[in-house]
Amino acid sequence: MTGSTVTALTTQVYRVYIRATPEAIWEAITDPAWSDRYGYGGRVEFDLRPGGAYRTLSNDGMRAMGVGEVVADGEVVEADPPRRLVQTWRLVMAPEMAEEGFTRLTYELADTRDGVTRLTVTHELDGAPKTAHLVSGGEEDSGAGGGWAWILSGLKTLLETGSPLTAAQPVSD
């Protein structure tokens, strides 16, 4: 195995500190008006109770690229707003990842100092090596987005500045 392979990952843990309340971050994760403004985008649908359905629906840009209506789906396992959300998650839009089945996602939000919230995302990816590679950012160079680090970086920027994280615009002049 060389240093650049990531096939052995089965659990991935990501943590980011955001200058926002746990309530605001919870909303950004579970409300479709927010979810379309960072990371891969798309409008989420959450029935926030154990056994409730979860889906992310494609936006216009994704459909223009041939993505179907449902990007990802799963089920809510545990919802304790604004502290803890556990859900299953499967990427439906890519057949080779859809067939790997459901993975498990845990969001944990904790207050720290001075109005800063610590968000930890744990993604359990047993038996889903292709999905694991994608969410670790392994496909970024082929234009498939930078996975969780990229999603959370975008979430932080959106909540702290009010503007989405986009590629730097060329200065006109």
Partner 1 sequence: MTDDDRVFKALADPTRRFLLDLLFARDGRTLTELESELEMTRFGVMKHLRLLEEAGLVVTRRSGREKLHFLNPVPIRLVHDRWIDKYTEHQVTALVDLKHRLEDQP
Whole-angstrom distance, CA of residue 105 vs CA of residue 93 = 18
Minimum gap (Å) between residue 153 Cβ and partner 1: 5
Task: Report the residue number, 29 or 93, with the smaller CB distance to partner 1.
Answer: 29
Exactly one of 21, 120, 145, 164 binds partner 1 (CB under 8 A); which one? 120
- Bridge partners (DSSP) of residue 130 are none
Q: List C-alpha distances in Å: 120 to 8, 15, 38.
A: 21, 4, 17
Whole-angstrom distance, CA of residue 46 vs CA of residue 31 = 8
Exactly one of 26, 40, 89, 148 binds partner 1 (CB under 8 A); which one? 148
Piece of the chain touching partner 1 by CB under 8 A; list 37-45, 51-59, 87-95, 153-161: 153-161
Exactly one of 10, 21, 59, 88 binds partner 1 (CB under 8 A); which one? 10
SS3 state at 165: coil
* Residue 15: exposure state from Cβ atoms within 10 A (0-12, 13-18, ≥19): exposed
- Note whether 110 binds partner 1 by CB under 8 A: no
Q: Could you list the residues that contact partner 1 (CB under 8 A)?
A: 1, 3, 5-6, 8-17, 120, 122, 137, 146, 148-150, 152-153, 156-157, 165, 167-168, 170-171
